[in-house]
Amino acid sequence: MQYLNFFSLFHLFISVSYLLFKKGKCIETAVQSFIEIIQEALDKGVHSIGIFIDLTKAYDTLNHKVLLEKLLSYGIRGITNLWFKSYLTKRRQYIEINRSDSSNVMVSRYRSSCREIKQSVPLCPLLFLLYINDLPLNIHSANLDIFADINVLITDSAVCALQRKTDRVIAELEMWFNRNDLIINVGKTGIMSFHNRQSKFLIKPQVSFNKLNLEYTAETKFLGIHITGTLKCNSHVQSLANKLSKVSFMIKSSKGILSPYMN
């Protein structure tokens, strides 16, 4: 299998929800597209709920059998599929433990992995995206934006209809995650109710995964951008200012030890 051919094949059947991985697109495009959908809904007076899903150790919990079956369905068959099977099956990691046994011999251990995919390997993010590539096909009545995390946007003009639509989307998500053997990190999964600044009452449909209620948040980080329920940029500007302040302090502090000839 030629490595470049696999990358080319990847772009042929990747889901439209992976805007980041389309030719000529970037992370700013994905952020802009997601926010524009929210802004358009707010301008029309439509209620909008964002669910920002975090997966528990996403790369470490992929079921290799399911992954190989998905690759097969995408047309990656024969020798190429066997190559992936060989690559994924019975991989062993070397772990050195800084202790000695009773004979004063240094102890080292191996462990096999039937699920984990090494994050340092270039193929890792591609395999993960292929693993969840069919998710948008199984979720109706919602907009999905997928990168390392999964972001879901649900909109409706009526409050009762929004709750019913949310329940339906959550049921579809739970069914897909259970079928594909993935676990949602409820503690890091947040919900946000988007609204205009003039809104006095926030619409907050009840949302729960596996019978655990999720908490609404006033601010979250989406693809590196801090966003709020009113889409104000104050928090993101403040975050950038804090980072720049730290960098500025480091530069000033190292002025006396750096060479004056450094540009």
Rounded to the nearest integer, the mean pLDDT of the chain is 77
pLDDT for 98 equals: 54
**pLDDT tens sequence across 172-218:** 999 999 999 888 888 888 899 998 877 777 888 999 888 888 889 88
In sequence order, which ranges of 76-211 are alpha helices (DSSP H)?
A: 78-88, 123-131, 135-138, 159-179
State the Cα–Cα distance between residues 167 and 243, nearest whole angstrom. 39
**pLDDT tens sequence across 61-109:** 788 889 899 888 888 888 888 888 888 776 655 555 555 444 444 444 4
State the Cα–Cα distance between residues 22 and 239, nearest whole angstrom. 29
Q: Which residues pair with 221 in a beta bridge?
A: 226
* pTM higher than the cut 0.85: no
State the Cα–Cα distance between residues 117 and 93, nearest whole angstrom. 11
Q: Which helix H or strand E contains 93, and what residues bound it?
A: strand 91-100
**240 token code pair:** 């950038």
- Short-list 157, 165, 127, CA closest to 51: 165
pLDDT for 102 equals: 46
Burial of 206 (0-12, 13-18, 19+ CB in 10 A): exposed
State the Cα–Cα distance between residues 205 and 82, nearest whole angstrom. 46
Helix and strand numbers (H, E) in the chain are 8, 10
pLDDT for 152 equals: 92
